[in-house]
Amino acid sequence: MGNLTKDKAETGFMATLRNSPSTDEFIKGLWRENPVFVQVLGMCPTLAVSNTAMNAMAMGLATTFVLLMSNMLVSSLRNFIPKQVRIASYILIIASFVTVTDYLIQAISIDLHKSLGAFISLIVVNCVILGRAEAFASKNNMGRSFLDGLGMGLGFTFALFCLGGVRELLGNGSIFGFALFPDSFQEWIIMILPAGGFFTLAAWLLFFNALKEKRAKA
């Protein structure tokens, strides 16, 4: 009976989903190879703009858009870009989509654009984006590159939101500007300062590493 149940579990929908190469390209960026909590990449925007949930989400989505589009374009041009100039070509492609993103954010909200400041332009040198272009998109087809970029981008956005949500909640007593605590709540001012970013990141890394070890032992 136990073997029968095990066989059903291994051949069921979840097993098929887990073992699907296409699904794996998407899921790995969300959890197993999360850019922030596992690979510890892109620390500059992660720590600098995660003082509020809104800033964190905006930067995460902007990075996701650039990562997604650059992955697809690099993949489609991978057979035409000479190896000698591939890095320069990737940076040019990424910079083009960063410029588009910069103007889009500016058109949507001037205040948000000012809050993110120079970190929008610095998406060009985000090692997550250039790393995926070099390590994955340049070696795989457009479909797999799309899923890889989407998974990594959403994983990056999730990590930024985890930091931004905690920092805004404890530093301002709110989430997305909506107050969640009574007026008597004592705000932790340090959480919205640069030091708060390091404390929050350390706490999240500790949590995810402990969870990973627990699952490995199970």
* SS3 letters across 39-73: CCCCHHHHHHCCCCHHHHHHHHHHHHHHHHHHHHH
* Assigned domain for 179 exists: yes
* Assigned domain for 61 exists: yes
Type and span of the H or E element at 178: strand 178-179
* Assigned domain for 13 exists: no
Tens of pLDDT along the chain (218 residues) come to 444 444 444 454 444 445 556 677 788 888 788 899 888 888 888 888 888 899 999 999 999 999 999 999 999 999 998 988 999 999 999 999 999 999 999 998 898 888 888 888 888 888 889 989 998 999 988 989 999 999 999 999 999 999 999 999 998 888 887 888 888 888 888 898 888 999 999 999 999 888 888 888 87
> How many domains, the chain?
1
* Assigned domain for 14 exists: no
* Assigned domain for 212 exists: yes
* Assigned domain for 138 exists: yes
Helix (H, G, I), strand (E, B) or coil at 37: coil
Give the domain range for residue 96: 22-217
* Assigned domain for 3 exists: no
- pTM assigned to the model: 0.84
